[in-house]
């Protein structure tokens, strides 16, 4: 899964890297436009995040945790921060968005927790990012949710996940479905729809680095650049 990640790039940097355009207003909320987010090294579920929406690569902000139209409250979002690629086309929460509301969720890198077996279960956080430190393009979906009280629509988003590649499987059995540059337009345009296609294109990614980081990241209240600094492995069992 992907439950925490880092996102320190500015809107201008993301627009340049993803060849995107800046949202100046929204058809649903024309007075809003893009909210420029502060850098974060510990993005947590239900936070405001950057998202690039189909098909014109418009950079905007959304609430992390997709809310289908039938959700009763914002609380539902905590259950839908991730969508499994293997079942996304059938799950009631995601199938409508999968057909026509695609997104790219940019990230510097993401965190995953390795659980060591033993008398006492311990978890070691790892930070996973591109070896060249370029932004990751995580496949996502978005949905507009309208509160039952008639309040303003809320733009919400989720990150797709897949079975981990062999390297990352040493840490955790799931990982975000990441898109190589050559697949951005196809994904956003809805041309990639089968599990086989999506898994195939996500294999042709840039090399990833994965290294242990401080357990301070366990607290969503912690947010500083040093969270992504490598630290000595805190567990006795060495992975590689």
Residue 89 lies inside a defined structural domain of this protein: yes
Per-residue model confidence as pLDDT tens digits over 43-75: 999 999 999 998 889 999 999 999 999 999 999
**Active-site choice (2, 23, 129, 143):** 2
Catalytic residue among 23, 112, 129, 143: 112
d(CA 180, CA 37): 25
- DSSP assignment of 93-119 equals TTHHHHHH-EEEEEESEEEEEEEEPSS
In a domain, 118, yes or no: no
Question: The dihedral of CA 127, 131, 133, 137: what is its sign?
Answer: negative
Give a yes or no: residue 238 inside a domain. Answer: no
Structural domain contains residue 87: yes
Domain span at residue 11 reads 5-109+135-165+174-205
d(CA 165, CA 221): 30
Does residue 195 surpass a pLDDT of 60?
A: yes
Residue 196 confidence (pLDDT) above 80: yes
205 contact partners, CB below 8 Å, separation of at least 6: 178, 180
Residue 240 banded pLDDT, cuts 50, 70, 90: very low
Burial of residue 82 (number of CB atoms within 10 Å: 0-12, 13-18, 19+): buried
Would residue 222 show up in a list of annotated catalytic residues for this protein?
A: no
**pLDDT confidence tier of residue 116, bands split at 50, 70 and 90:** confident
Classify residue 229: in a domain, yes or no. no
Residue 129 annotated in active site: no
Band of residue 148 on the pLDDT scale cut at 50, 70, 90:
confident
In this structure, is residue 158 part of a structural domain?
Answer: yes
CB 59 within 8 A of CB 49: no
């Amino acid at each position: 899964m992907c439950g925490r990640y880092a996102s320190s790039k500015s809107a201008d940097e993301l627009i340049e890297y993803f060849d995107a355009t800046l949202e100046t207003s929204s058809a649903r909320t024309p007075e809003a436009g893009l909210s420029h987010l502060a850098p974060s090294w510990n993005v947590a579920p239900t936070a405001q995040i950057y998202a690039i929406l189909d098909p014109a690569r418009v950079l905007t902000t959304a609430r992390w945790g997709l809310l289908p139209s039938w959700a009763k409250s914002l609380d539902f979002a905590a259950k839908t921060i991730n969508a499994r690629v293997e079942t996304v086309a059938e799950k009631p929460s995601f199938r409508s968005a999968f057909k026509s509301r695609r997104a790219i969720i940019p990230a510097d890198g993401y965190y995953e927790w390795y659980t060591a077996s033993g008398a006492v279960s311990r978890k070691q956080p790892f930070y996973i990012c591109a070896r060249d430190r370029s932004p990751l393009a995580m496949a996502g979906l978005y949905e507009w949710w309208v509160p039952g009280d008639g309040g303003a629509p809320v733009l919400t988003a989720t990150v797709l996940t897949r079975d981990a590649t062999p390297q990352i499987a040493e840490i955790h059995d799931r990982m975000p479905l990441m898109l190589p540059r050559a697949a951005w337009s196809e994904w956003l345009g809805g041309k990639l729809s089968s599990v086989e296609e999506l898994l195939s294109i996500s294999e042709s990614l840039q090399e990833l680095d994965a290294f242990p980081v401080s357990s301070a990241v366990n607290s969503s209240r912690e947010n500083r650049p040093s969270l992504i600094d490598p630290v000595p492995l805190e567990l006795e069992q060495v992975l590689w």
